[in-house]
Structure 1
Amino acid sequence: MDNRLSLFLISALLLISATTSLPENSDDALIRQVVDADVGVSETLSDDPLLGAEHHFTLFKKKYGKSYANQEEHNFRFKVFQKNLKRARRHQRMDPSAIHGVTQFSDLTRSEFKRTVLGLRGDTIQIDDTTIYSVGTRVRAFSDWLLQVLLSDNLEAVFSSASCEYASFIEEMWKDAAIQATYNRRNELQMLPRVATYFLDQAVEISRTDYKPSDMDILYADGITSSNSLTCMEFSFPKSTQDDTLDPHYQRDSSLRYQLIRVHPRSLGEHCKWLDMFEDTDIVLFCVSMTDYDEYSADCNGVLTNKMLASKHLFESMVTHPTFENKNFLLILNKFDLLEEKIEQVPLSQCEWFSDFKPIVSQNRHNSTNPSLAQRAFHYIGMKFKTLFNSLTDKKLFVSLVTGLENDTVDEALRYAREIIMWEEEEEPYFNNELSSTDIEASSTA
């Protein structure tokens, strides 16, 4: 997805958050289903009584691989599906310009859809005609249309040739008081990218035909969505000024090339069964977002799991996997810049694994000798993983602090990984393991 499409997707989520405010028990609290215009006949809605809800539900489960824990859950989902199907039929008669039918979300209630797909929590903003979150008819109509495009999985086709036409309107909406009031409560919108401000402030510039993205634009855009498959790249380390100060015996060969393989957790298979493919790996870099402690993800059945606990469970599965039995692990704790902002508003103890995080905060918080709350949280999270790793492997876990959009911190982490590999190959390491600026000792949590 390019930068322009990313911009419009961010706008859609912002507008949806400001306009989806129907109460849970409202008769209209059902999902308006929209499908692509090229769907097959069996997937569109027909008035033929022979093609009832049971038939469509069977096709729906088969197409989207739906399964339910028990008969009670199955029956409940079928009832929800029936209501959404009925509503979609009605919308088809009212709006024949689009095709309304069955989508992968057809067994979700309105509240489940907002929570699992849009990332809205249960305590989302309630809107009436008198609040600062009220939007005008023009903005609401455009947001409704954007929501339909989003549900149709047709965003790229719609905006590939029209992004310039909508640029000024996107800028107008971004400056709207209701949208700004909503964005000020962005901590309640789990799936809203933190880079929204960056792109929305440049809406017109990004939409120009002669626009050329900067390196920072590309970094921000790439961070919006992640590949669910395997990617790899080869690279080498250029000679640094620090290398010149070392004895030639300890200087690293800048011509050596390394291969970095990125694997999304979804690509590992059940019980990490595909890890056998990586038996020749020299070191495992396990990345964790430190802002995940109060965020949740949902599986296909709508069951919510704390993201930090999910990372913990994946970490346990990987470090105990036979393929990685003798491998070194470098834990990369990412998004420190966002943690600094978030932890002032949301306590780390929101995650049950971190329930004992009770730092003693100095009265003089601006004293340069006192670590910030975010720094204390980083050391604490690192120690939790180090203790867990040692209990499972009886080995040391290496830790590095990273802000993904800052090249220097990423470079430092990768160079640290290189040194760990070299330590294994040398009889007497020329660096002590504790010299890393981001390595963690128990005393740092005091």
Structure 2
Amino acid sequence: KYFLQHKNIEVLDLQLRGEFLYAACGEGGLRVFDVAFIDNKAFSERIVTAPVSPVGQQLYVRSKHAMAVAAPSTTAPDPTRNQDPENEEPAIHAVYANIYVADKYEGLIVVGAGTLLDGNPSNNFMERAATFNPGGLLRGARELTIVGKYAYVCCDAGLVVVCLEDPTHPYVTAVVDEPLDCPTDVQVQFRYAFVCDKHGVKVLDVTNLANPVPVAELPLEDAKKIYVARTYAYVAGGHSGLVILDVQNPEQPKLDQIYNAGGKIGDAHDVKLGITYVSEFAYIADGANGLHVVQLTSPETPGNDGFSPRPTPKLVATYPLEEGEAIAVSEGVDRDRAVDESGNQLSVFGRVGARPFSAAEAQRLYLLPQKGVWRAFDGQRDFNIADPKLREVDLRDQLQRFYGAPRDNSAAPASEPRRFDGVPSGGSNPFR
């Protein structure tokens, strides 16, 4: 009976984290596969449900119809690890102890997966930690992404924001229905969320993660999934192929180009990006056409040494499938990701007590109290003013009206130089 339940399952979505692959398998629920040392296994099956007897592990959780699975991070921070106080490291948030499943009928399912991170093979028994679907609000849940301590869930009601401050007791902070119509995917980059729905791509301002606000939309046919990388967004556009958007200004998205490799890409379901050496690649799940690898940039790409060169797509490889269709691609490991959107530390820093900015500290870089997002204003010189001195006075007045009057620091006492640890320094401090 145990082996039959893994036979002929339908994989709808997947995510790799560490040595395990998490798969949303429709009526088969959540299934987890051991993919450790996939090129160096000493037995015939490289991808297995468990390397030991089923009695020794339980790497599945049953549900009515699992549509999507999301990990809070592609790395594996372990909230269950005992921390040495001498390291002066902050605790890992509890959100990272779980895997999150969008179920068509049950809504959001929280699955405890911390035991798969601790390196102990004797406790790998996964269990459902919580099921959340208040009043059927999350009915039709089909996709989700974890943004800091929030889950953004695409469902029949629109985009539902669920707070996971306590993952076993989630609650809803916002529901975005208009202008969304049957959203199928959502991705977040800094202050904006990009949502695919029946009519194209919608952009939401998520400066307040708990309360997204629609700000823009771009009509597209058959927008299934989206991946955002710096100033470009890549849409799996079904029969259109790979649709590349210019989102340098997220509130004014523009179509940059459409690429289908001369008709070879015609059923794009999903797209993920990865970088190898100095080249960027898109991995496209193209239905019955298999998996395509499209090179987006190379050392020869104009501006490749810059922040965000314009992609020059070129099909470089195709992996045909003997049976079935390619409908999902797992996201790769995020390199050097130090902090999440809620200010939770994800990576080890090189010095004792070192940490990234908290969310409140980071917001001080781009938010003004009671004024919202910090925006630069240069002002304009009025050359109708003949006197150059009066012209500069007018420019100064413009800047003061925008930024406020300058602070008077003349009466402020001189602050004593301080060491990096905040202790007043002495005369021998080399950093004075």
TM-score scaled by length of structure 1: 0.26
Calculate the TM-score normalised by the size of structure 2.
0.27
Structure with greater helix percent? 1
Structure having the higher strand fraction is 2
Higher relative CO (CA 8 A, sep ≥ 6), structure 1 or 2?
A: 1
